[in-house]
Amino acid sequence: MAKYVYFFGGRKAEGDGKMKDLLGGKGAGLAEMTNSGIPVPPGFTITTKVCNYFYKNKGRMPSGFKQEIQKNIQKLERTTGKRFGDAKNPLLVSVRSGAKISMPGMMDTILNLGLNDETIKGLIKKSNDEKFAWDAYRRLVQMFGNVVMGVEKEKFEKLLDKKKKEGKVKFDQQLSVDAIKDLVDGFKKVYQQETGKKFPPDSLEQLKMAIESVFESWNNPRAVTYRKLNKIPDDLGTAINIQTMVFGNMGNDSGTGVGFTRNPSTGKKKFYGEYLLNAQGEDVVAGVRTPLPIENLKKEMPKVYQELWEITTKLEKHYRDTQDFEFTVENGKLFMLQTRIGKRTAFAAVKIAVDMVKEGLITEEEALMRLAPAQIDQLLHPILDPKVKVDVIARGLPASPGAASGTIIFTAEEAVEKSKKGPVILVRQETCPDDIHGMDAAKGILTARGGMTSHAAVVARGMGKPCIAGCETLQISEENKEIIVNGKTIKEGDWLTIDGATGRVILGRVPTVKPSLSGDFGIFMKWADKIRKLGVRANADIPRDAKTAINFGAEGIGLCRTEHMFFAQERVPIVQKMILADTEKERRKFLDELLPMQREDFLGLFKEMKGYPVIIRTIDPPLHEFLPKREELMVEIALMKERKKPEKEIKKKEALLARVNQLHEINPMLGHRGCRLGITYPEITEMQVRAIMEAACKLAKKGKTVLPEIMIPLVGHINELKNQKAVVVRVAKSVMKDYGVKIKYLVGTMIEIPRGAITADEIAAEAEFFSFGTNDLTQMGFGFSRDDAGKFINDYLSEGILKSDPFQTIDQDGIGKLIGMGIKRGRKTKKNLEIGICGEHGGDPDSVKFCHRIGMDYVSCSPFRVPIARLAAAQAVLEEKK
């Protein structure tokens, strides 16, 4: 017969600390503490199996469960010498949730369960404190009504506030016995009015309802959201801990508190926590009274303090990690109610991990598993000052971490100008490559449209700037230069703050704090580099980004997007003339003007990379992206005609419109872009290759090591690569001959079209490396537009259709199989084929670990995500060992 309930008490527990899957983190901790001889109020744990059964069977409990509960209550009665529901010596219990992975505050708790009009008499007699007993009853009715029956807390609080005003007191514990008795009656009336039922007098019925309520809280909105944000599986279920009540509100020799064995914000090895005398646990967190720092307990209860310090120090050594603990003192006797691994900031996590290695508590490998890679973001970007209260007006997608305040600006040009006078936030419906200069000038970017891999998101992450994308509650009027949100109008020039780590849009100016990278961080990352097998490169287009990447530990550039270089203000007119040219001869003339500019760009990158490989992608986007928007031109021409502008000027604009119309595509992402442009206009590829090779040869002549890798984008057929490779090889040979040097260079391709992955064995015959462009591969593999998918992806996630956003984390079951197929087939043709990834997935921890498992050589990501990828790559090795 299945076992659903595990007892703990009397220095012996049926479970232990290794049984988190079954007993949850809290239950496993209580069992382990009991077995270690630590004073724990006795009780029993209902397993997570029951929770899962409850949900699979429409709220029913498994066969034999009721009898097991009854049996464990009897055991608890024998252990404590008290009786459940007894009027003379009542057993009172708490009912608390406890999932395998800590979800603090997300699920429900009920205290003082078992009190009724009869059992309170026994509690008064045993405690010899009528006020304490009635206060415990008052708390039960309120908690039970709110948690179990869904009565709004405010309904009870109104009565409580009224009583305090009548009694002219500030705090609950200052109320008289008669006032508290009146409150119990008043609370029961509220309970009946709101639920249509009387407060249940039967202790067993209270327990049954409380158990069902805690199970139901597993799927309350806040718990569901917390799991989604922290990637906790929905099918883990929660355990429930039924534990004998100990009371911290029995006078000034009693109290309750919470604490950590080390400071969870700084990581400092210092006893850290708060407590209240004459209080129950909820009072500490509710903020009704101001808790005291735990150091004060040393003066008020020196023996208790010493025992608490010894127990928690023992627990930290036993678990070999920082402990988050709860305790209660009843009439001078200490009881431990909980211990679990303490949640901490990224800064604290690094310090604690490094310190514990120095102390000999853990190994370097264990230390590396103590920090979630995504937490590193907190260490690299400014964060909002946590002490400041903020006015959140909207929420969007947390597209790029960090925080920034500035005056709002609606165009890239104005962002450049206004940024000279002070910080600006660029606000757009969505950004496009034309906005690059404005994005560079702005402190942060906010868009109403787009997803986590939209232009705004990708570019902002590359720049290390905070960005919130897809904030669809914003009504942005670029024409009126204002935002309307929830009835508020925010005008250009008003201050706005964005928190890219949480997606919060905040009214006004909020100060930021820059986290400092301690020496501990450097030590920690060296440990990661010793273990990882996967190389980590960066996506960088300019020397400044390349320098940032090197500082963060990048081992080369995995993607340089040459088209971004064309958007510099002094270059756009030349690019536009080249596009408008009618003949190859004309195009070459303007390409010759661009050549020295591109060469300087590549020189800068090669210098910063100091011999590391640099993958440079030839032009990828369609040409119309470099031209003014079609609709804007039509309006401009109409206005010019109306205002009787010179015919020559109008003709010039009309010629531009004609070319824009000629280049206009219904679906540009599947249109004339990538290698298709190079095939149509080989002179563009020629100019770019010449710029790359001339820059490389210049440095090589000076004795510098340069490793250029030229990447042809959007290849789906071997003949496309053959065509462009021939251009690359011809130009490279010519340049090396002119400079009188020979340098090693590679020619490869992006695998971003499903056909490219399927025919990778053929393509590998020509390619010297593969780089998987997972943004486009996901887009084409799923048939999702990455800029529009944000409109329905959340529905897919909430309905369980997808486990995660495929534009954030590689879809291993689908797109992952295409990648695996491409690697297997490519290396079948060319055994030592260099293979990496350059989509935004290269900085996602789960995706990095997947890349390690399927045998890639490196990942490439935004410079600010390089440390994340380094740690994820190390953890992939350690997880594989397990």
Phi, psi of 670 (to 5 degrees): -110, 15
Catalytic annotation, pick one of 471, 675, 697, 838: 838
Angstrom CA distances, 860 to 14, 559, 605, stand at 49, 7, 16
CA–CA separation, 129 and 120 (whole Å) = 11
Beta-carbon contacts of 812 under 8 Å, excluding residues fewer than 6 positions away, are 850
Q: Are strands 292-293 and 323-330 parallel, antiparallel or unpaired?
A: unpaired
CA–CA separation, 325 and 308 (whole Å) = 10
Beta-carbon contacts of 324 under 8 Å, excluding residues fewer than 6 positions away, are 102, 258, 259, 260, 264, 338, 339, 340, 341, 342, 343
Tokens of 206: 């209270």
CA–CA separation, 219 and 238 (whole Å) = 10
Tokens of 32: 């382990």
Tokens of 23: 């007993």
Phi, psi of 272 (to 5 degrees): -135, 130
Beta-carbon contacts of 123 under 8 Å, excluding residues fewer than 6 positions away, are 90, 92, 115, 133, 136
CA nearest to 414, candidates 399, 428, 393: 428
Q: Contact at 8 Å (CB) between 431 and 463?
A: no
Helix (H, G, I), strand (E, B) or coil at 615: strand
Q: Contact at 8 Å (CB) between 443 and 424?
A: yes
Tokens of 389: 């209260």
Residue 343 carries which DSSP code? P
HSE of 166, CA atoms in CB hemisphere, 13 A: 13
464: left (phi over 0), alpha (psi -120 to 50) or beta: left
Q: Are strands 834-837 and 769-772 parallel, antiparallel or unpaired?
A: parallel
CA–CA separation, 475 and 725 (whole Å) = 47
CA–CA separation, 10 and 250 (whole Å) = 24
CA–CA separation, 29 and 353 (whole Å) = 21
Tokens of 309: 């310090």
Residue 190 carries which DSSP code? H
Beta-carbon contacts of 179 under 8 Å, excluding residues fewer than 6 positions away, are 163, 166, 167
Tokens of 123: 């509690």
The tokens 């009786």 sit on which residue?
83
Phi, psi of 674 (to 5 degrees): 60, -140
838 is catalytic: yes
Tokens of 738: 């002119």
Q: Which pairs count as long-range contacts for 52-57, CB under 8 Å and 24+ apart, including other chains? A: 52/235, 52/237, 54/212, 54/215, 55/215, 55/218, 55/219, 55/237
Amino acid present at 782: F
Helix (H, G, I), strand (E, B) or coil at 19: coil
CA–CA separation, 6 and 250 (whole Å) = 30
Q: Print burial letters for 321-351: b (CB count within 10 Å at least 16), e (below 16).
A: bbbbbbbbbbeeebbbbbbbbbebbbbbbbb
Q: Are strands 272-277 and 238-244 parallel, antiparallel or unpaired?
A: unpaired
Residue 859 carries which DSSP code? E
Helix (H, G, I), strand (E, B) or coil at 293: strand
State the burial class of residue 36 (Cβ atoms within 10 Å of its Cβ: 0-12, 13-18, 19+): middle
Task: Give the residue numbers marked as catalytic.
Answer: 455, 838
